[in-house]
Structure 1
Amino acid sequence: MTANLLALEGVHTHIGAYHILHGVDLAVPRGQLTMLLGRNGAGKTTTLRTIMGLWRASQGRITFNGQDITQMPTPAIAALKVAYVPENMGIFSDLTVRENMLLAARSARNVSQIDEARLQWIFELFPAVEKFWSHPAGKLSGGQKQMLAVARAIVEPRELLIIDEPSKGLAPAIINNMIDAFAQLKGSGVTILLVEQNINFAKRLGDTVVVMDNGVVVHAGSMRALADDEALQHSLLGLAI
């Protein structure tokens, strides 16, 4: 097995006439939580969508677990045990929490076929999922929807979780709950790539960090090293952690 579960090499992405990614090199070490940071418009979300095949790389190579996935369709990438939680969460508002979870459980035809032990583990991570099990997902609060989005992503075992700004708009107490949940997921051996604007969130969770600007990677290294270097933070992000 390679040390990096996911790797991007010289990846370019065009969206219509716009050239968004300009040769992205990025490595996600196996079993670690990698933070993807950068100012708004740096190319972070485009990078995640390109990894998932939602937008096609126009140049370069993406490998997952040693396998070239650059031209794979999104369902085939998901079938490799990769889950993606977009910034808008992708919740089906008219369906219940239970129905949202069942849709994400690819191997289950009904709720009784979802692994019971795994479901109880998810309920412990995100009590709101159990509390509002039979409620329409559209009636949940923003924080509860975010918990459901992550719960849905892990309803089956995953090797890689890709999550775009999970703390956006959440209250501090819910952010702390989310941090605890991600720490448990990482402890269970799941590799996580996480875009985040909340720097305290990044500092508490990240093992490694990648910083993007204008469609390229401008820094990669240890999260702790970046957190300890205010001059580097100002240089890369225009702020101090």
Structure 2
Amino acid sequence: MPDPAAEPILTLSGVHTHIGQYHILQGVDLVVPRGGLAVLLGRNGAGKTTTLRTIMGLWKASAGSIVFDGRDITKMSTPDIARAGIAYVPESMAVFSELTVRENLYLAARNGPLDQARVDWICGFFPALKKFWNYPAGNLSGGQKQMVAIARAIVEPRKLLLVDEPTKGLAPAIVQSLMLAFRELKDTNTTILLVEQNFNFVRTLGDTVSVMDDGRVAHAGLMHDLANDDALQQRLLGLSLDSHQ
């Protein structure tokens, strides 16, 4: 559980993002406490993925500020943001299809050779990675590609992990492996900001939650409070979160 007295690791203040003629983020205020797992919920099209991509510098904020670990990263390039300690796992399960699983992880190891102890730790959650270690990543199933994408993001320690819809389309057994991985990551002082629709997944893991609507954050608080308030779920999401399974 994050320390409420600690300085937030990430703060978005009045962030606007335009994509072409479309005004997607319309003044996002978001605070991610240091440590633990923060969840970003909202209907489709609310701006959740755009928020992650804007934090990562893939789309540039047209107004407002993004402060990470005490440093303004609003105008920084994506490589510099990554070097500052943020990793991003997109919904698209982006992997280098022609490269093997090993080569995908090797490329993500910025500070030299792979740490074998950390690789073994990651493979403890995702045994299929070891099985397909020398297979081209493009030959793997969707769930296996998702494992590779997450492994790439955590092959070295990161301060903040941004993850977009990690359980989408995955088998229940793989979802359970993800749950274990995120729990252990929380214990290693990695902060996680997670966009997810599987409420059973985030209800178990989430410490704090923000709900987006129409390009803004409409609600922010403790996950426990939202999970136990059906009326609030109905008002913010239009249905009980228990239907997000």
TM-score (ref. length: structure 2)? 0.95
Alignment of 1:201-216 (within 5 A): 201-216=201-216
Q: What residue number does 1:171 align with?
A: 171
Q: What residue number does 2:101 align with?
A: 97
Kindly indicate whether residue 72 of structure 2 is the aligned counterpart of residue 68 of structure 1: yes
Deviations 1:78-106 (CA, angstroms, capped at 9, x unpaired): 00111000110211111110111111111
Q: Indicate the SS of the match to 2:9.
A: strand
User: 1:2 & 1:64 partners in 2: Cα distance?
Assistant: 14
User: 1:121 & 1:172 partners in 2: Cα distance?
Assistant: 21
| 1:52 corresponds to which of 43, 56, 59 | 56
User: 2:107 & 2:6 partners in 1: Cα distance?
Assistant: 32
User: 1:87 & 1:123 partners in 2: Cα distance?
Assistant: 21
Unaligned stretches of 5+ residues in structure 1: none
User: 1:128 & 1:4 partners in 2: Cα distance?
Assistant: 35
Moved over 3 A (4+): none
Q: Indicate the SS of the match to 2:148.
A: helix
User: 2:114 & 2:172 partners in 1: Cα distance?
Assistant: 31
Unaligned stretches of 5+ residues in structure 2: none
| 1:25 corresponds to which of 20, 25, 29 | 29
Q: Indicate the SS of the match to 1:14.
A: strand
Q: Is contact 1:37–1:44 with CA below 8 Å preserved after alignment? A: yes
Q: What residue number does 1:88 align with?
A: 92
| 2:110 corresponds to which of 98, 106, 116 | 106
| Count of residues in Structure 1 that have an aligned counterpart in Structure 2 | 237
Deviations 1:46-81 (CA, angstroms, capped at 9, x unpaired): 000000000000000000001000000000000011
User: 1:97 & 1:185 partners in 2: Cα distance?
Assistant: 21
Deviations 1:151-172 (CA, angstroms, capped at 9, x unpaired): 1101111000000000000111
Q: Is contact 1:2–1:66 with CA below 8 Å preserved after alignment? A: no
Q: What residue number does 1:141 align with?
A: 141
Q: How far is the alpha carbon of 1:2 from its aligned partner?
A: 5.1
Q: CA RMSD in A?
A: 1.1
Q: Is contact 1:5–1:28 with CA below 8 Å preserved after alignment? A: yes
Q: Indicate the SS of the match to 1:53.
A: coil
Q: Is contact 1:2–1:65 with CA below 8 Å preserved after alignment? A: no
Q: Indicate the SS of the match to 2:39.
A: strand
